[in-house]
Each structure stands twice: as C-alpha cells, then as structure tokens.
C-alpha cells in the first residue's frame, strides 16, 4: 500500500489500482481490485490502525473484473457496495454478458501476456457478482468518508462513474482517464484503446466532463497519479 495523497492510499498491482480513503477513523474503498486482493485491503487497513469494520462502503467506478473483484466477498461479511444505477444490473449479474464489451486482445504482443498473467495471479477470472448494491446517481455527494461526489463518465461501460473530492480537489478517474497503457505500458495521461470501451465515442465525451473539475491530483484505475490539472491531462489524452 502506498500513500498517494492526504488520507488516500493506493493498492493493487503495477497493472491496476484500487484506493482507500480515510477520514475520522473510518474509510471508503474505491473499487475492489481482483478477487484475490481482499487480504491486501485488510493488511493496508491494519497498517494504519483500522479494521474491515471501519470501511463504510466500497464504491465502484464500474463492474469490470479488475474493479469489482472482492466486492462480493466483502459484502458477505457486511460491507456495503455501491455503484451507479445504470451499472447496477451488470454488477449484480442481472443482464447478459454481452452488456460488457470483451476486447479482442492482441495476443501476439508480449505486453498483453504480461498484463494478463499479472491479473490472472490476482484472480481476475473469478469475479462473483454481487447479491445487491446500493445505487447512486450523477452529482450525488455520498455521505461517506471524504464525501465523494459522483461524476457520471460513461463510455468505458454504460454506467462508469468517477469520484471527486471537493475539499482536496482529488479526482478518481477509474478507466475514463488512465496514465498507463495496459499493453505497451506507455506512461502518461491517455484513454484506454477503443477495444476496451463499450462506446469509444461516448468515452471521449466523458473526458470533457472530467476536464471541468479543478484538481490537484488525478488517481486513475491504471497507472500512477497525475499531479495538477485534469484539464491538462485530458488535452494530452486527446492528442
């Protein structure tokens, strides 16, 4: 676990992130990594003097397997899971698999296998659907540690959401804006390749939504934090 901002910690692997946000002895978890990563969260909490009972909710940017991984297991022991109302049927498995785009990965590239093997070790193929979720909508300010504001950023999935912390000007961009290419590992602000998006055109439109928020730091689903303006990051990503 690595501290990336005041009261914010990054967990996961070199290939994907989930986050722990703390305030007043309580915590919000943003995304749930892969299915084998719950121990990482528990160890991270313990390292800062917290326990699983101190987590008030897991909030999901979207329901892909590297973001929803341990949510079902955590829910079974009492942790609340929340997602956007549009994404909820995907998270709970109430829609068929075709609702989530499965990319045709370039299997001839070494980088693809490095990415896949790393996530296979973390249990990406086993992402049990969540029994039920609490839903939120665009613009909601969640009564959780950090008071994250929901920013609806569809395109990567139909209900993808980002989260904004007004006081610290921190943006959790999920997979709407990342800083590492999953295949080439190229660093810097960017969109994921079109093959990873349900609706690439709408994903580009969502970049403009993100650009409207003043930020000190952007924390993506893949890659390192981006310090400074998200508008500047979006400008780079659009090139």
Q: 219 φ, ψ to 5°?
A: -115, 105
Spatial separation of the C-alpha atoms in residues 13 and 16, rounded to whole Å: 5
Strand, helix or coil at 237? helix
CATH number of the CATH domain containing 52: 3.60.15.10
Is the pLDDT assigned to residue 102 strictly greater than 60?
A: no
**Would you state the pLDDT for residue 60?**
98
Mean pLDDT computed over every residue of the chain: 92
The most confident of 106-110, 192-196, 228-232, by mean pLDDT: 228-232
Domain count, the chain: 1
- Give the tens place of pLDDT for each residue, 109-124: 766 777 777 777 888 8
Sheet of 55-59, strand order = 2-5, 8-12, 17-23, 26-30, 55-59, 81-84, 134-136
Q: State both tokens at 182.
A: 């999953």
**Would you state the pLDDT for residue 3?**
97
Spatial separation of the C-alpha atoms in residues 170 and 164, rounded to whole Å: 6
**Do 63 and 157 form a contact (C-beta atoms < 8 A)?**
yes
User: When comparing pLDDT for 183 and 32, which is higher?
Assistant: 32
- Give the tens place of pLDDT for each residue, 30-63: 999 999 999 999 999 999 999 999 999 999 999 9
Is the pLDDT assigned to residue 131 strictly greater than 50?
A: yes
Name 81's Cβ contacts closer than 8 Å, sequence gap at least 6: 32, 57, 58, 59, 60, 71, 74, 75, 91, 130, 133, 134
> What's the mean pLDDT in 174-190?
94
**Would you state the pLDDT for residue 189?**
98
Write out the H or E segment, with its range, that includes residue 43.
helix 38-47
**What global pTM score does this model have?**
0.93
Write out the H or E segment, with its range, that includes residue 236.
helix 230-237
Give the range of the structural domain holding residue 28, as residue numbers without chain letter: 2-237
Spatial separation of the C-alpha atoms in residues 63 and 156, rounded to whole Å: 10
**Do 46 and 57 form a contact (C-beta atoms < 8 A)?**
no
**Do 38 and 74 form a contact (C-beta atoms < 8 A)?**
yes
Is the pLDDT assigned to residue 78 strictly greater than 60?
A: yes
Provide the CA 225 distance to its chain's centre, in angstroms.
13
């Amino acid at each position: 676990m690595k501290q990336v901002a005041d009261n914010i910690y990054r967990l996961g692997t070199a290939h994907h992130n989930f986050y722990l946000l703390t305030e007043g002895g309580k915590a919000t978890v943003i995304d749930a990594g892969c299915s084998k990563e719950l121990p990482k969260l528990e160890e991270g909490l313990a390292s800062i003097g917290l326990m699983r009972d101190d987590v008030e909710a897991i909030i999901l940017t979207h329901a892909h397997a590297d973001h929803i991984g341990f949510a079902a297991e955590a829910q079974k022991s009492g942790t609340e899971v929340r997602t956007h109302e549009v994404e909820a049927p995907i998270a709970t498995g109430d829609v068929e698999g075709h609702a989530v785009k499965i990319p045709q990965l370039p299997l001839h590239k070494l980088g693809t296998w490095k990415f896949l093997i790393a996530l296979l070790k973390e249990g990406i193929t086993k992402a049990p659907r969540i029994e039920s979720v609490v839903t939120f909508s665009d613009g909601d300010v969640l009564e959780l540690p950090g008071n994250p504001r929901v920013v609806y950023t569809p395109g990567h999935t139909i209900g993808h959401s980002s989260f904004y912390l007004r006081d610290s000007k921190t943006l959790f961009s999920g997979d709407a804006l990342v800083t590492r290419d999953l295949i080439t590992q190229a660093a810097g602000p960017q969109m994921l390749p079109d093959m990873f998006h349900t609706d690439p055109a709408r994903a580009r439109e969502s970049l403009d939504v993100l650009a409207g928020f003043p930020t000190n730091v952007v924390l993506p689903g893949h890659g390192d934090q981006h310090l400074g303006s998200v508008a500047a990051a979006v400008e780079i990503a659009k090139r």
